[in-house]
């Protein structure tokens, strides 16, 4: 029996590959298995190879597996591109329809299964995916009845007959494969899971849910891969709390409209990817200069320019930290899991209001679109802090004196009054201004306002929850692995293997990218013989940021991957061994 | 009731003596008082340029944003607090060059706010370059041989784009301008008011005298009907856009906020942000 299993379905985009994976994984999640999925797809609607790789475990899984147990193929390309991932006990199930050819150099078992033929006989070839799901159940010894709920949910509105047909397709796929296996039990059998109900969601769902829990009421946004799911979720949910999503004409409008809404007194944010964030940079500067709260989600994808829009990369780091012209206080947070995506999004809104700064939540395609099992999200951890927001009770003003919206204070944060409040009138401008918001070019005022803004974040790294997520077992490590966002799972698995080979490894996952938590990182780097920063980009951007803040330019090395695919544990193990 | 004096503040505008923008400022202050606003319930959101400074010259809440983006900011403010009256304002470069994308979509979207453009057919603050509103052949620092591009017609564009309130005025005509701004403020939906506001320093062609000679008041055209889109377009074409008054108004089309699904009756800015636990747990269940 296995502790975990890796399953992949592949074919041409637009022929239901995604829904096959969706049905398979949703049913398994309901049985209490932990899942971690990653979708390989192209920037087109139909055609092109796509696959959905799903890892199933009886305990938490948080990385894409190195190898593969079962490959379900709807075209030859799926076999040719993916068979090398299969280990020797693996199984290929290929649709007889395309006359599949078994690769010469594989030890994996090969079954041609009439997926399309069985489905067609039942009424429509569309159900070939269901036949494949059933055939998989035969291998992993799973009772097909577990799919009934899921099939009813998906096809229920099309009528009872469609549900029955789909269940029949699953059953026949199961029967066919059982017969082929001729009574032998499979080595790929999965033990029963704990039966606990857990959530199964993509990172973007968790971020959107976090925004909703944080009290967002307006999301102006422009569609883009891989961020659109955030707006799509909120389009359904915001009307229930009186709010709405506005699909704007571009990302400049999205960011500036969010700024206007925050100035108006509500919580508003937007989400995009690299190209959109590039367009938003001037607006982010306005938020910083006018001290208007703003939260922006950047779901990183392959850059530059249009780059690799549907592929994994982590190359927006420098642009997010330094992107806007001039100097502003800004926060960049990098959650590493869907759970963190939820809690960090709430915290981002709190920080944006408490410090009156722009906050960028950095995600990446693997985290945003990968579908993962998520442990319960805790309502009691939802905390709403609005800082020095003033909504009433201001003393009468004389001679139309402006409210000191930009009062120079010890912590740099000034009271923020929203339009509509009596006796709070002031001016807000991106031009350098005095304490009341009136434009001022005086050198003394410039310095006072600049210092006030820049000192707001002096202590953020001490109050931010867990700026570095640490897995530190050794006082003195042979190797410190550092990463951020979705690479954490692969790094953790690499650690286990390196430890098994006698290497003492510590892991530091950076959650607060800017302002950088130097004090926390320094001792970890000092106490390690070797340091490797693992990141999905070509220039080692996080390594550069660490060198700038912490030092040790000779000691800090990079493990980089920028071919569009996520890290798998073996990449990190192999590169680490070369470094030490 | 506030008087127009209550909308004056203590800031001295940095506009050139004789600039048309002074009268626009006065007309906004008068119109605000006439329609019964109080200073704290008015938000003036402006762009960048000489005219963009106006948000700092009116005693009300004001935000001076970035070049070309007054409209999306203003729409965000209005969505956040429907009880506020929102005026967006800026110049012809701000609204019809760098911000044109937003202008068109704000007209389509029809969020209830009033957009006042101070149109001087030139870039003033950057010291005299061509604008999309400059006439063909107009000589500026950036077009020393004369502009070879077609002049943009914001009024024709607005009428064909589906704007629900389209008006034009002349800054010296304080009484008419005030009345038009009042009508814009009272209009339920997006209102665009283009105001000819001469630049006395850099535009030696489109001067006060030039406008006086060339403008026609729609009130003087017998039987002019501002509810007819076709009539509006024909009249604009016949007069080369040089007309003042309410060119087009559609009183039937609901504003964006009236149409948006589930939009709160109470201003969103007054909402309690914390979600209740039962609602939260329902949301979680959807992912199980």
Look at A431 and B64 and tell me if their CB atoms are within 8 Å: yes
Residues of B in contact with A426 (CB under 8 A): 61
Query: Which residue in chain B has the smallest CA separation from A431?
Result: B64
Q: Is B19 on the interface with A (CB under 8 A)?
A: no
In this prediction, what percent of chain B has a pLDDT beyond 70? 100
DSSP B222-251: TT--TT-HHHHHHHHHHTTT-EEEEEEE-S
Size of interface A-B (CB pairs under 8 A): 208
- A201-381: CATH superfamily: Thiamin diphosphate (ThDP)-binding fold, Pyr/PP domains (3.40.50.970)
Residue A204 CB contacts under 8 Å (≥ 6 apart), including other chains: A226, A227, A229, A230, A233, A271, A299, A341, A363, A368, A369
Selected for mutation to probe chain B from A26, A27, A266 (highest B CB count within 10 Å) is: A266
Selected for mutation to probe chain B from A212, A251, A261 (highest B CB count within 10 Å) is: A261
Mean pLDDT of A144-163: 90
The distance of Cα B94 from the centroid of its chain, to the nearest Å, equals 11
Which residue, A289, A291, A252, A288, is CA-closest to A270? Answer: A252
Q: Is B64 on the interface with A (CB under 8 A)?
A: yes
Q: What is the pLDDT of residue A188?
A: 86
Backbone angles phi, psi at B117, to 5 degrees: -100, 125
SS3 B89: strand
> Which of B61, B83, B280 minimises the CB distance to A213?
B280
Mean pLDDT of A390-410: 96
pLDDT for B230 beyond 70: yes
Query: Which residue in chain B has the smallest CA separation from A199?
Result: B288
- Tokens coding A539: 């220039």
CB–CB of A261/B79 below 8 Å? yes
- Tokens coding B153: 């017609």
CB–CB of B236/B247 below 8 Å? yes
Q: What is the pLDDT of residue B138?
A: 95
Minimal C-alpha gap between B260 and chain A (Å): 8
**Which of B:69-128 have CB within 8 Å of A?**
69, 71-81, 83-84, 101-102, 104-105, 109
**Domain limits, CATH 3.40.50.970, in chain A:** 201-381
Look at A200 and B287 and tell me if their CB atoms are within 8 Å: yes
Q: What is the pLDDT of residue A402?
A: 96
Q: Is A20 on the interface with B (CB under 8 A)?
A: no
Backbone angles phi, psi at A111, to 5 degrees: -125, 125
> Which of A240, A246, A402 minimises the CB distance to B262?
A240
> Which of B41, B60, B65 minimises the CB distance to A430?
B65
> Which of A425, A430, A438 minimises the CB distance to B61?
A425
Q: Is A429 on the interface with B (CB under 8 A)?
A: yes
Selected for mutation to probe chain B from A328, A427, A438 (highest B CB count within 10 Å) is: A427
For residue A305, the tally of other CB atoms under 10 A from its CB is 8
Residues of A in contact with B276 (CB under 8 A): none
Residues of B in contact with A149 (CB under 8 A): none
SS3 B271: coil
Q: What's the rounded Cα separation, in Å, for the pair B106 and A516?
A: 40
Which residue, B133, B121, B134, B192, is CA-closest to B161? Answer: B192
Mean pLDDT of B175-186: 98
Q: What's the rounded Cα separation, in Å, for the pair A377 and A385?
A: 19
Kindly report, residue by residue over B143-155, the tens digit of the pLDDT.
Answer: 999 999 999 999 9
Mean pLDDT of B247-254: 98
- For residue A285, the surrounding DSSP H or E stretch is helix A274-290
**Which of A:249-268 have CB within 8 Å of B?**
249-250, 252-254, 256-268
Kindly report, residue by residue over B53-104, the tens digit of the pLDDT.
Answer: 999 999 999 999 999 999 999 999 999 999 999 999 999 999 999 999 999 9
SS3 A147: helix
> Which of A256, A262, A382 minimises the CB distance to B72?
A256
CA atoms lying within 13 Å on the CB side of residue A22 = 12
Q: Are strands A4-12 and A49-57 parallel, antiparallel or unpaired?
A: antiparallel
Round the average pLDDT of chain A to a whole number and report it: 96
Which residue, A503, A414, A489, A264, is CA-closest to B271? Answer: A264
- Cα distances from B208 to residues A225, A540, B161, B170, B205, in angstroms, run 52, 61, 30, 9, 9
Residues of B in contact with A387 (CB under 8 A): none
pLDDT for A556 beyond 90: yes
Q: What's the rounded Cα separation, in Å, for the pair B38 and B19?
A: 27
Look at A430 and B64 and tell me if their CB atoms are within 8 Å: yes
Q: What is the pLDDT of residue A1?
A: 64
Look at A264 and B80 and tell me if their CB atoms are within 8 Å: yes
Q: What is the pLDDT of residue A20?
A: 87
Look at B63 and A428 and tell me if their CB atoms are within 8 Å: yes
Q: What is the pLDDT of residue A19?
A: 84
CB–CB of A397/A383 below 8 Å? no
Of 1.10.287.990, 3.10.450.30, 3.40.50.920, 2.40.110.10, which CATH number belongs to A467-579? 3.40.50.920
Q: What is the pLDDT of residue B36?
A: 97
> Which of A242, A258, A384 minimises the CB distance to B274?
A384
DSSP A26-40: HHHHHTT-EEEEEEE
Q: What's the rounded Cα separation, in Å, for the pair A12 and A78?
A: 9
- Tokens coding A300: 């990183």
Mean pLDDT of B281-285: 97
Q: What is the pLDDT of residue B272?
A: 95
Round the average pLDDT of chain B to a whole number and report it: 97
Q: What is the pLDDT of residue A3?
A: 83
Minimal C-alpha gap between B118 and chain A (Å): 19
Query: Which residue in chain B has the smallest CA separation from A376?
Result: B284
For residue B220, the tally of other CB atoms under 10 A from its CB is 10
Selected for mutation to probe chain A from B41, B46, B73, B272 (highest A CB count within 10 Å) is: B73
- Tokens coding A518: 């130097």
DSSP class of residue B88 equals E
Residues of B in contact with A265 (CB under 8 A): 80-81, 268-269
Q: Are strands B85-91 and A468-471 parallel, antiparallel or unpaired?
A: unpaired
Residues of B in contact with A386 (CB under 8 A): 273
**Domain limits, CATH 3.40.920.10, in chain A:** 4-197
CB–CB of A404/B14 below 8 Å? no
> Which of B73, B83, B261 minimises the CB distance to A256?
B73
CATH number at residue B204: 3.40.50.970
Residues of A in contact with B84 (CB under 8 A): 264, 419-420
Residue A156 CB contacts under 8 Å (≥ 6 apart), including other chains: A163
For residue A148, the tally of other CB atoms under 10 A from its CB is 14
Question: Distance between the two ends of chain B, CA-based, in angstroms?
Answer: 56
Residues of B in contact with A210 (CB under 8 A): none
The three-state DSSP-derived secondary structure of A484-552 is CHHHHHHHHHHHHHHHHCCCCEEEEEECEEECCCHHHHHHHHHCEEEEEEEECCCCCHHHHHHHHHHCC
Q: Is A215 on the interface with B (CB under 8 A)?
A: yes
SS3 A387: coil
Put residue A12 in one of left, alpha, beta given phi > 0 → left and psi -120 to 50 → alpha.
beta
CB–CB of B132/B96 below 8 Å? yes
**Which of A:220-249 have CB within 8 Å of B?**
220, 237-244, 246, 248-249
Total domains in chain B come to: 1
> Which of B66, B284, B287 minimises the CB distance to A283?
B66
**Domain limits, CATH 3.40.50.920, in chain A:** 467-579
Q: What's the rounded Cα separation, in Å, for the pair A536 and A488?
A: 12
pLDDT for A328 beyond 80: yes
- Tokens coding B238: 């016949």
Look at B43 and A384 and tell me if their CB atoms are within 8 Å: no
Minimal C-alpha gap between B110 and chain A (Å): 12
- Tokens coding B36: 């019964």
CB–CB of A9/A173 below 8 Å? no
Mean pLDDT of B27-39: 98
Expressed as residue numbers, the domain containing B247 is 4-285
Q: What's the rounded Cα separation, in Å, for the pair A465 and A487?
A: 20
Look at B11 and A438 and tell me if their CB atoms are within 8 Å: yes
**Least confident span in A87-91, A201-205, A334-338:** A87-91
Look at A429 and B77 and tell me if their CB atoms are within 8 Å: no
**Which of B:245-264 have CB within 8 Å of A?**
260-264
Q: What's the rounded Cα separation, in Å, for the pair B62 and B55?
A: 5
Largest CA distance in chain A: 94
pLDDT for A14 beyond 90: no
Q: Domain A4-197 carries which CATH code?
A: 3.40.920.10
Q: What is the pLDDT of residue A189?
A: 86
Q: What's the rounded Cα separation, in Å, for the pair B100 and B204?
A: 25
Interface ipTM: 0.98
- Tokens coding B284: 């979680």
Selected for mutation to probe chain A from B63, B263, B275 (highest A CB count within 10 Å) is: B63
- Cα distances from A190 to residues A54, A57, B186, in angstroms, run 14, 8, 69
For residue A304, the tally of other CB atoms under 10 A from its CB is 13
Burial class (CB in 10 A: 0-12, 13-18, 19+), A471: middle
Query: Which residue in chain B has the smallest CA separation from A261?
Result: B76
Mean pLDDT of B258-274: 96
């Amino acid at each position: 029996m296995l502790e975990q299993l890796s399953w992949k379905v592949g074919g041409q985009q637009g022929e239901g590959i995604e829904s096959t994976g969706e049905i398979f994984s949703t049913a398994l999640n309901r049985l209490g298995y932990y899942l971690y999925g990653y979708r390989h797809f192209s920037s087109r609607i139909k055609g092109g190879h796509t696959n959905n790789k799903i890892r199933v475990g009886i305990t938490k899984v948080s990385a894409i597996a190195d190898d593969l147990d079962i490959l379900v193929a709807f075209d030859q390309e799926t076999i040719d591109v993916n068979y090398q991932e299969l280990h020797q006990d693996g199984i290929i199930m290929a649709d007889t329809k395309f006359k599949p050819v078994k690769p010469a150099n594989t030890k994996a078992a090969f079954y041609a299964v009439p997926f399309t033929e069985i489905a067609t006989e039942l009424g429509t070839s569309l159900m070939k995916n269901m036949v494949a799901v059933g055939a998989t159940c035969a291998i992993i010894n799973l009772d097909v009845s577990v799919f009934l709920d899921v099939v009813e949910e998906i096809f229920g509105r099309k009528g009872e007959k469609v549900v029955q047909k789909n269940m029949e397709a699953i059953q026949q796929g199961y029967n066919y494969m059982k017969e082929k296996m001729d009574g032998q039990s499979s080595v790929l059998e999965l033990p029963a899971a704990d039966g606990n109900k857990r959530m199964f969601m993509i990172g973007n769902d968790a971020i959107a849910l976090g925004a909703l829990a944080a009290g967002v009421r307006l999301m102006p946004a422009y569609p883009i891969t891989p961020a659109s799911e955030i707006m799509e979720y909120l389009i359904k949910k915001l009307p229930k709390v009186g709010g709405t999503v506005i699909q704007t004409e571009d990302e400049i409008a999205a960011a500036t409209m969010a700024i206007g809404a925050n100035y108006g007194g509500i919580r508003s944010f937007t989400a995009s990817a690299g190209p959109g964030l590039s367009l938003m940079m001037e607006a982010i500067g306005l938020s910083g200069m006018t001290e208007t709260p703003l939260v922006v989600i950047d779901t990183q994808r392959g850059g530059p320019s249009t780059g690799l829009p549907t592929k994994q990369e982590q190359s927006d780091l420098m642009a997010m930290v330094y992107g806007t012209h001039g100097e502003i206080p800004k926060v960049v947070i990098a959650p590493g899991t869907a759970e963190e995506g939820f809690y960090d999004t709430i915290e981002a809104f709190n920080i944006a209001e408490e410090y009156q700064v722009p906050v960028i939540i950095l995600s990446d395609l693997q985290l945003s679109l990968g579908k993962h099992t998520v442990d319960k999200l805790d309502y009691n951890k939802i905390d709403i802090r609005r800082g020095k927001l003033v909504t009433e009770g201001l003393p009468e003003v004389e001679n139309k004196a402006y409210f000191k919206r930009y009062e120079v204070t010890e912590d740099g944060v000034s009271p923020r009054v929203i339009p509509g409040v009596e006796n709070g009138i002031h001016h807000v401008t991106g031009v350098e201004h005095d304490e009341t918001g009136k434009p001022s070019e005086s050198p003394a005022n410039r310095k006072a306002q600049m210092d006030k803004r820049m000192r707001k974040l002096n202590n953020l790294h001490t109050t931010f929850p867990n700026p570095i997520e640490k897995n530190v077992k050794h006082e003195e490590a042979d190797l410190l692995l550092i990463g951020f966002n979705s690479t954490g799972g692969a790094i953790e698995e690499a650690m286990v293997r390196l430890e098994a080979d006698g290497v003492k490894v510590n892991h530091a996952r950076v959650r607060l990218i800017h302002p950088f938590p130097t004090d926390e990182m320094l001792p970890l780097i000092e106490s390690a013989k070797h340091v490797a920063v693992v990141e999905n980009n070509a220039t080692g951007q996080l390594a550069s940021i660490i060198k700038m803040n912490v030092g040790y330019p000779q000691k800090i090395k990079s493990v980089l991957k920028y071919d569009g695919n996520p890290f798998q544990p073996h990449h990190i193990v192999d590169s680490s061994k070369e470094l030490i | 009731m506030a008087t127009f004096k209550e909308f004056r503040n203590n800031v001295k505008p940095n506009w050139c003596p004789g600039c048309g923008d002074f009268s626009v400022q006065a007309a906004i202050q008068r119109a605000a008082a006439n329609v019964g606003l109080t200073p704290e319930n008015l938000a003036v959101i402006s762009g960048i340029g000489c005219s963009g400074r106006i948000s700092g010259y009116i005693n009300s809440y004001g935000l001076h944003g970035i070049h070309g983006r007054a409209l999306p900011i203003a729409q965000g403010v209005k969505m956040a607090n429907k009880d506020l009256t929102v005026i967006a304002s800026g110049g012809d470069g701000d609204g019809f060059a760098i911000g044109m994308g937003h202008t068109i979509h704000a007209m389509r979207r029809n969020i209830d706010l009033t957009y006042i453009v101070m149109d001087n057919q030139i870039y003033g603050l950057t010291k005299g370059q061509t604008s999309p509103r400059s006439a063909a052949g107009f000589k500026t620092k950036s077009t020393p041989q004369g502009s070879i591009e077609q002049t943009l017609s914001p009024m024709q564009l607005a009428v064909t784009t589906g704007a629900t309130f389209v008006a034009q005025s002349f800054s010296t005509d304080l009484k008419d301008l005030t009345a038009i701004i009042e009508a814009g403020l009272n209009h339920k939906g997006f209102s665009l008011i283009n105001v000819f506001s001469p630049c006395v320093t850099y535009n030696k062609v489109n001067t006060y005298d030039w406008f006086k000679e060339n403008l026609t008041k729609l009130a003087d055209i017998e039987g002019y009907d501002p509810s007819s889109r076709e009539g509006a377009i024909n009249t604009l074409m016949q007069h080369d856009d040089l007309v003042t008054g309410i060119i087009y108004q559609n009183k039937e089309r609901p504003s964006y906020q009236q149409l948006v699904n589930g939009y709160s009756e109470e201003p969103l800015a007054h909402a309690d942000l914390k979600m209740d636990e039962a609602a939260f747990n329902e949301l979680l269940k959807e992912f199980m």
